[in-house]
Chains A and B, each alone.
Chain A
Amino acid sequence: MARERHALTAAASAKSRLVDLPRGEPRAELHRELVGHLRQNRTQLREEWVARIGEARLLQAMTQEEIFAEATSVYDSYVAALETGTLDDLTAYARNLSERIIPRGVETHEVVGIVLLLRDVLARSLFAKYQADFEKLNRILDAYEPAANRIANTVAVGFVQERERVIRQQQEAIRELSTPVLQVRERLLILPIIGVIDPMRARQLTEQLLRGIRENRAKVVVIDITGVAAMDATVANHLVQTVEASRLLGATVIVTGLSPEIAQTLVTIGVDLGKMNTVGDLQGGIEQAERLLGYKVELG
């Protein structure tokens, strides 16, 4: 009741005070009031938010209980961030949340969507509460909006950063997985290359191959590029350099599996493949390598 009366008197004096009231003066107070309101209506607002998430069909990868649990945590961190004005805890929570939900296939638009929904739910509740006192509503929203925007921004950025970190990690993993140097016989290495070779991967391949030659005391290396769809001039030149560097270590390189497209590209751009020992397929390459090493394969 007291609150209502206060609102009424405020409304009555709103016209005269609108001008001489220094704007932003009681901002801390407004924040306190805002936080108090959000604390008081925690249960109701939270439920409303979860209902809205359900309506908007967001976070379909998660169960209703999980959404409710996460919503509670997000709500509390949200209010805490509004209260303290520091975003550190919320940033940490957002990162932690992202770590948990990214593997489950939650998309960026969903995360942004739920934060915006919360913002909307809270704004509506503020509107409902202060609608009698237009001037106060204005000031409350003035205090609320920038903070809410910053929070939404933090959560979204945190999510995207986490996603990017995951992507970088996966790229690294793929890169390491995709460059095995295999020893198939005493002194014979095979380097099967699959996928797209960019200059960085090419350099990595070369390093691994040269190290492998040294460690395994290889005399012959078969580089199989059957799985390489295309190759540009830079990478082709790099391949030639790798062959030459291997020779300086005393190893002969046989390149196998050049596709017609790559062969045509290489001829067109004029890469000098004269120094290269090429064989049609991997089987032929291994056979030739065995001949070079003095192996003789007999049926029987």
Chain B
Amino acid sequence: MQVPILKQGNVLIATIQAALTDADLLELRSGLVQQVVRYRSSGVIVDVTAMDVMDSFASRTLLEISRMIRLRGADTVIVGIQPEVAFAMVQLGVTLEDIPTALDLEEGLAYLQQTSRSIN
């Protein structure tokens, strides 16, 4: 199941719609890292609302996506982590330390608008 990457103004939006295999995650990573420069995007939003399980590989990949995109000159926000998933993650010791997070897509866009490197 491939993850569609949408372009909305200066922001790329990747909405995960179902459980992903490790290969899907790696594909998402390379897709985002390539397109962020191709489209001159300043922000990336990864929407994980539909994920009801977040294993260590998935969270590590999200962390890598965020750091790679930072190096490519844009900011990443993870949005839509479910409460149960959030607590399960911290119990596993996965806290996505330095990645900004937001409640949902709307909040994520608002966050990117506030940060200096993004649109406007």
In the bound complex, residues from chain A placing their C-beta under 8 Å from that of B86 are 210, 245-246, 248-249
Could you list some 13 contacts between A and B, CB below 8 A? A207-B87, A211-B83, A244-B90, A245-B87, A245-B90, A247-B101, A248-B85, A248-B90, A249-B83, A249-B101, A250-B103, A250-B111, A251-B103
The number of A-B residue pairs with CB atoms under 8 Å apart is 50
Binding site for B on A (CB under 8 A): 206-207, 210-211, 213-214, 217, 219, 241-242, 244-251
Does residue B102 face the partner (Cβ distance < 8 Å to A)?
yes
Does residue B120 face the partner (Cβ distance < 8 Å to A)?
no
Does residue B81 face the partner (Cβ distance < 8 Å to A)?
yes
Contacts A241-B90, A241-B91, A244-B95 known; A250 to B102 CB distance under 8 Å?
yes
Give the dominant DSSP class at B's interface: helix
Report the separation of the CA atoms of residues A279 and B64 in the bound assembly, to the nearest whole angstrom.
Answer: 33
Does residue B36 face the partner (Cβ distance < 8 Å to A)?
no
Are A207's CB and B83's CB within 8 A?
Answer: yes
Are B103's CB and A245's CB within 8 A?
Answer: no
In the bound complex, residues from chain B placing their C-beta under 8 Å from that of A211 are 83
Does residue B25 face the partner (Cβ distance < 8 Å to A)?
no
| Distance (whole angstroms) from the CB of B114 to the closest CB of chain A | 10
Report the separation of the CA atoms of residues A2 and B78 in the bound assembly, to the nearest whole angstrom.
Answer: 97
Are A245's CB and B79's CB within 8 A?
Answer: no
Contacts A207-B83, A244-B95, A250-B79 known; A214 to B89 CB distance under 8 Å?
no
Are A241's CB and B103's CB within 8 A?
Answer: no
Contacts A213-B103, A217-B103, A244-B95 known; A249 to B90 CB distance under 8 Å?
no
Told that A210-B87, A214-B83, A250-B102 touch, could you supply 15 new A-B pairs with CB distance under 8 A?
Answer: A210-B84, A211-B83, A213-B83, A214-B103, A217-B107, A241-B87, A241-B90, A244-B95, A248-B78, A248-B89, A248-B101, A249-B83, A249-B103, A250-B101, A250-B111
In the bound complex, residues from chain B placing their C-beta under 8 Å from that of A210 are 83-84, 86-87
Does residue B96 face the partner (Cβ distance < 8 Å to A)?
yes
Report the separation of the CA atoms of residues A249 and B89 in the bound assembly, to the nearest whole angstrom.
Answer: 12
Are A248's CB and B81's CB within 8 A?
Answer: yes
Report the separation of the CA atoms of residues A173 and B42 in the bound assembly, to the nearest whole angstrom.
Answer: 51
| Distance (whole angstroms) from the CB of A202 to the closest CB of chain B | 11
Are B103's CB and A248's CB within 8 A?
Answer: no
Report the separation of the CA atoms of residues A214 and B83 in the bound assembly, to the nearest whole angstrom.
Answer: 8
Report the separation of the CA atoms of residues A213 and B83 in the bound assembly, to the nearest whole angstrom.
Answer: 9
In the bound complex, residues from chain A placing their C-beta under 8 Å from that of B90 are 241, 244-245, 248
Are B79's CB and A248's CB within 8 A?
Answer: no
A246's closest neighbor in chain B, by CB?
Answer: B86
| Distance (whole angstroms) from the CB of A54 to the closest CB of chain B | 59
Report the separation of the CA atoms of residues A245 and B89 in the bound assembly, to the nearest whole angstrom.
Answer: 8
In the bound complex, residues from chain B placing their C-beta under 8 Å from that of A241 are 87, 90-91
B108's closest neighbor in chain A, by CB?
Answer: A250
Report the separation of the CA atoms of residues A251 and B102 in the bound assembly, to the nearest whole angstrom.
Answer: 7
B96's closest neighbor in chain A, by CB?
Answer: A248
| Distance (whole angstroms) from the CB of A210 to the closest CB of chain B | 3
Contacts A248-B95, A249-B81 known; A206 to B87 CB distance under 8 Å?
yes
Report the separation of the CA atoms of residues A210 and B102 in the bound assembly, to the nearest whole angstrom.
Answer: 13
Q: Which of B74-120 contact A (CB under 8 A)?
A: 78-79, 81, 83-87, 89-91, 95-96, 101-103, 107, 111
| Distance (whole angstroms) from the CB of B16 to the closest CB of chain A | 15
